[in-house]
Chains A and B, each alone.
Chain A
Amino acid sequence: MEQFVLLISLFVLAVYLGIELITKVPPTLHTPLMSGCNAISGITVVGALLASGAQSSPLASILGFIALVLATINVVGGFWVTHRMLSMFKKRG
């Protein structure tokens, strides 16, 4: 039970930190912020790695593999498209 309390504390603090941080992002960057957050939520790739590498039943392996592919798309696609957008924001003149 202590572990659960620890994890839920972590979750609540992270939400709070997220709110503090995100309110400081200027509206100009809201679209790259969203795609960047998409990439970060691709952290499920970690869970997918553990699930797909664990060699359990065939069905579980297939599902783990699907999770891995989807999460990787999220990570790679998310970071790259964010980079593409952000590198267009330049100061000129």
Chain B
Amino acid sequence: MLTIWIDISYLVAAVLFVSGIKGMTRPKTAVKGNMQSAFGMLIAVMVTLFDTNILSFEIIIAGMLIGSVIGLVLAQKMPMTSMPQMVALLNGFGGGASLAIALTSYLDIMGTQVDMNPMLVVSQVAIVLTLLIGGVTLSGSGIALAKLQEWLPGKPLGFAGMKYFNLLLVIVALGMGYSLFNADTNLLFVATLVTLVLILGVTLVLPIGGADMPVVIALLNSYSGIAAAAAGFIMGNTVLIVSGALVGASGIILTQIMCVAMNRSLVNVLFGTMAPASTEVIDSDEVYAGKVKTSCPEEVAMILDSANRVVIVPGFGLAMAQAQHAVRELADALIAQNIEVEYAIHPVAGRMPGHMNVLLAEAEVDYELMKTMDEANQSFEQTDVVIVIGANDVTNPMAREDKGSPIYGMPILNVDKAKTVIVVKRSLSPGFAGLPNPLFANENTLMLFGDGKKAIQELTGSVKEAA
């Protein structure tokens, strides 16, 4: 009877997760949605404690206390610019937890001898899968974290034939997994398998470049979900399967969105093959020579003074210069003069999906002013001034026009359709793609050279003076 109640409570928890994610479909309901999910988790945990197999509560209390303290401190201290690192860390812990569960379950059934009960076979397959996915997620996330935090260089690392080495590792790991349940396996065998799986996670992520990390984080997010679902199959636990599946699906979709936004296929990202290296080097002098117009804050303030509609295009350079607040103050000054202001946010503006939106929200920007790429692209023609800050490749018209360009086909913000474009930038240096940007040499573009934050503050000063 008790198990029925436990199962029903798990169902309630799963429903709360679903309705919690549904709450995330609108900023207004998102806080409540997150709380619903958290409440579902509380129910699942409380109910599990009623399980009759649980004997030692001291250990459980100690473990949950330690975990809660670490979790709270991390969540509270992590700056918003480091959210990709936080998510990578959490992905890794999730994978690690699944790996540890798979090992515990393995140790538990290793003693009992094999009768060919079909559910036992399912458990065994699930143990191997959980071990594999959990282990790869753990060490892969570690490498992703190190790259994001710049403990490791962002450039792809590896050796020729790494692909085949990885394939070999997968085959060996699966083979070892198959023989894991033979009577004569020992702990050394298991430890070797775990080591192999951890190495695989490292060699899978090392060859992926820093610019592609958003895709990798989304993918590892998905893996951590799938590992949880696989752990659910070990124990025949429904709530693990449902929640793991939800998270797995979410990660896959975000991975796909990021791939589209970066104009890369997932296979390309994973195996580090950049679009065919530009055979003809495009000479930036030829693009820029004599055509780049430089401006000053006073002149820009005059242009802004006669504008009705201004769109701000932020890039990660903005976050690196810690200029989010300065930009919001500029926007406030413009709004005070009855100018319509919006923010156009490219999907890869930050370092993970939606990162730029969080950074702007932190600087107290109204979320209703944050427009997606598609929304923004419909309105640039009716826009008087676009201010591009710390963004480069995502505004490069070559992606639209130059078929030979390596970024051809990448969806961009068509800022060049606006009447005037102001680009705030330190110099004419290229972005991640290493290409010159013809936007800077356009007839209607003005360059405002300088450090992002300082340049914006000067501009805000001039706007207020002109008013």
Contacts and interface: CB of A to CB of B under 8 A. Distances in A.
Interface of A: 1, 3-4, 7, 10-12, 14-19, 21-57, 59-61, 63-93
Q: Which 5 A-B pairs have the closest CB atoms?
A: A72-B67, A18-B249, A30-B354, A77-B71, A53-B54
A85 B60 CA distance: 30
B97 interface: yes
Interface in B209-262: 217-218, 221, 224-225, 227-229, 231-254, 257
A50 to B, nearest CB: 6
21 contacts: A3-B119, A11-B245, A15-B248, A31-B354, A31-B357, A36-B37, A40-B17, A43-B240, A43-B244, A46-B48, A47-B234, A50-B48, A53-B57, A67-B97, A76-B68, A77-B71, A77-B93, A78-B71, A89-B30, A91-B28, A92-B364
A85 B81 CA distance: 12
A41 B184 CA distance: 34
Given A22-B250, A40-B41, A74-B97, A32 B74 contact: no
Contact of A90 (B53, B246, B366): B366
A7 B78 CA distance: 38
Given A50-B235, A83-B34, A44 B101 contact: yes
Contacts of A33: 21, 24, 250, 254, 354
A38 B224 contact: yes
B34 A86 contact: yes
B308 to A, nearest CB: 18
Given A21-B18, A21-B21, A63-B103, 17 more contacts: A7-B122, A14-B241, A14-B242, A19-B253, A26-B25, A30-B357, A31-B358, A33-B21, A52-B59, A52-B104, A53-B54, A53-B55, A56-B108, A57-B107, A72-B68, A85-B358, A90-B361
B12 to A, nearest CB: 13
A25 B246 CA distance: 13
A37 B221 contact: yes
B54 A49 contact: yes
Contact of B37 (A27, A74, A79): A79
B24 A52 contact: no
Given A45-B45, A79-B38, A88-B358, A29 B24 contact: yes
Nearest to A80: B75
Interface string B45-63: 1001101011111011011
B53 A50 contact: yes
A56 B243 contact: no
B166 interface: no
The residue among A3, A32, A73, A78 with the most chain B CB atoms within 10 A of its own CB is A73
A49 B49 contact: yes
B22 interface: yes
Contact of A18 (B44, B218, B250, B367): B250
Range, interface on chain B:
35 or more
B108 A60 contact: yes
B60 A52 contact: yes
The residue among A31, A69, A78, A86 with the most chain B CB atoms within 10 A of its own CB is A31
A23 B366 CA distance: 23
Contact of B366 (A21, A83, A92): A92
B24 A32 contact: yes
Interface in B56-100: 56-57, 59-60, 62-64, 66-68, 70-72, 74-76, 78, 80, 83, 86-87, 90-91, 93-94, 96-98, 100
Main secondary structure of the interface of B (DSSP, over half): helix
Contacts of B96: 66-67, 70
Contacts of B372: 26-28
A24 B257 CA distance: 13
Nearest to A45: B45
A59 B225 CA distance: 26
Interface stretch (B150-158, B345-353, B377-385): B345-353
Contacts of A55: 55-56
Given A27-B354, A35-B87, A88-B362, A10 B107 contact: no
B23 to A, nearest CB: 10
B277 to A, nearest CB: 31
A64 B352 contact: no
Contact of A34 (B62, B233, B335, B352): B352
A78 to B, nearest CB: 5
Contact of B63 (A19, A23, A69, A79): A69
Given A15-B249, A17-B246, A31-B358, A46 B224 contact: no
Contacts of B64: 68, 72
B250 A37 contact: yes
B238 A44 contact: no
A17 B230 CA distance: 18
B27 interface: yes
Contact of A36 (B24, B56, B218, B233): B24
B368 interface: yes
B94 A29 contact: no
A63 B38 contact: no
